[in-house]
Amino acid sequence: EGLIVSFGEMLIDFVPTVSGVSLAEAPGFLKAPGGAPANVAIAVARLGGRAAFVGKLGDDEFGRMLAAILRQNGVDDTGVTFDAGARTALAFVTLRADGEREFMFYRNPSADMLLTAAELNLDLIGKAAIFHYGSISLITEPCRSAHLKAMEVAKEAGALLSYDPNLRLPLWTSPEEARKQILSIWDEADIIKVSDVELEFLTGHDSVEDEVAAQLWRPSLKLLLVTLGDKGCKYYTKDFHGAVASFTVEQVDTTGAGDAFVGALLRRIVEDPSALQDEKKLREVLRFANACGAITTTKKGAIPSLPNVAEAMRLFESA
C-alpha cells in the first residue's frame, strides 16, 4: 500500500493543568506533543496506513522524545534530522474561559525552521504516494526552500500533493503576508483542506457559502474540503460538490480534530484514489474522516485522542 509522507513541524504544546485560564493565570503546564503535520502522520499510522514524517527537531531531550513518539506510533522517522544548535519548538497554548485559544510560541529560531533542502531525505520523499504539508514551514528560510524542494521532488515522483494551511496568524509578520504566502503554493496541490475560519480569512468573506469556497477552487485541484467543526465538512471537485454531516459526540477538546480528519481522508484515498472521482465513494470516505475528527474531540490533547480503526468504525457504524 502507498506511503503517506507528511512534511513540516513537530513540537511540544504546553497546555495548562486546569482549563479555562489565561496563560498568565495557569498554575502549571503539561507536555502535549503536536504539530499538525506530525499529528497527521500519526493519525494515518494509527488507522493502519504507512506513514513517514519529514522535519527537523532539536538535538535535545524534547527532540529525541518526539522522534520516539513517532516510532512508537509506527511512523517512519528516517526523514527526521536533528539540529545541534537549536531547540525543539515549544508552544504554550490555552483555551481561555471566553473560548478563545491563546498561543505563545518559542521559535527563535527553533530547529524545525532550520531544515535545509540539502538535509532532505529525497529517497523517502520520492517514495510518497501522497505528500502532505502545511504552511508554517513556509514562513522563514531555510525551511521554506526545503519545503518547496520537497514538494517538487514528490510531485516529480508522481505523488498526490495534499495541503492543509493550518493558519497560525501570530507566526506571520502580517495577515497580508500570511494570505499571500499561503496562496503562493495553492496551484501545486491536488487536495486542499481548509477550516471555515481559514476560508473566511483567505477569501475575505464572512461566510462559508459555495460561492465563497469557489474562490479557492483551481482547475489543478482534485478535491477542496472545508471543515465545519461539529457540522462536518463540505467537498468540491470539478464534477460534484456537497456536504457530509458529522457525528454527535461530547466535545472535550478539539485539538487535533482537523489533523485526524486529514489523516483519515489520506489513509482512505491512498487505498482507493478512485474516490476522488466517485461521489458515492468520496462521501463514505468523508463520513469516515468526520468520525475520526469527532472522536478526537472527545479526549484531551491531539495525539492521545487519534482513533484506531476499531474506534473509528464503532462510531462510523453507529449512525
Give the per-residue contact string, 276-295, with ligand ATP (x = CB under 6 A; - = no).
--------------x--xx-
Per CB under 6 A, does 242 bind ligand ATP? no
Q: What's the closest the beta carbon of residue 238 comes to ligand ATP, in angstroms?
A: 22
Nearer to ligand ATP among residue 93 and residue 120 (C-beta): 93
Q: Is 227 in the site for ligand ATP (CB under 6 A)?
A: yes
- Binding of ligand ATP by 8 (CB under 6 A): no
Q: Are 162 and 130 in contact (CB under 8 A)?
A: yes
CB of 92 to ligand ATP, least distance (A): 17
272 tagged catalytic: no
Which residue, chain included where needed, has cell 534530522? 81
| Residue at grid coordinates 497580508 | 176
SS3 assignment, position 150 = helix
Cell numbers describing residue 105: 510560541
Q: What does each C-alpha distance from 162 to 192, 222, 240, 262, 298 come to in angstroms?
A: 6, 10, 19, 9, 26
Among 230, 271, 278, 279, binds ligand ATP (CB under 6 A): 230
What's the Cα-to-Cα distance from 97 to each of 24, 25, 100, 169, 275, rounded to whole Å? 13, 11, 7, 21, 41
Separation of alpha carbons 229 and 199, rounded Å: 13
State yes or no: residue 44 binds ligand ATP (CB under 6 A): no
Per CB under 6 A, 233 contacts ligand ATP: yes
Q: Comparing C-alpha atoms, which of 269, 197, 220 is closest to residue 1?
A: 269
Number of other CB atoms surrounding residue 208 within 10 Å: 20
Q: How far is the CB of 215 from ligand ATP (least distance, A)?
A: 19
Residue of the chain from 12, 67, 221, 257 that contacts ligand ATP (CB under 6 A): 257
* 22 makes contact with ligand ATP (CB under 6 A): no
CA distance 210 to 238: 13
Q: Is 200 in the site for ligand ATP (CB under 6 A)?
A: no
Q: Which stretch binds ligand ATP (CB under 6 A): 127-135, 184-192, 244-252, 268-276?
A: 244-252
The answer to the question of residue 243 lying near ligand ATP (CB under 6 A) is: no
Active site residues: 259
Using CB under 6 A, list all residues that contact ligand ATP: 195, 227-230, 232-233, 246-247, 249, 251, 254-259, 261, 290, 293-294, 297
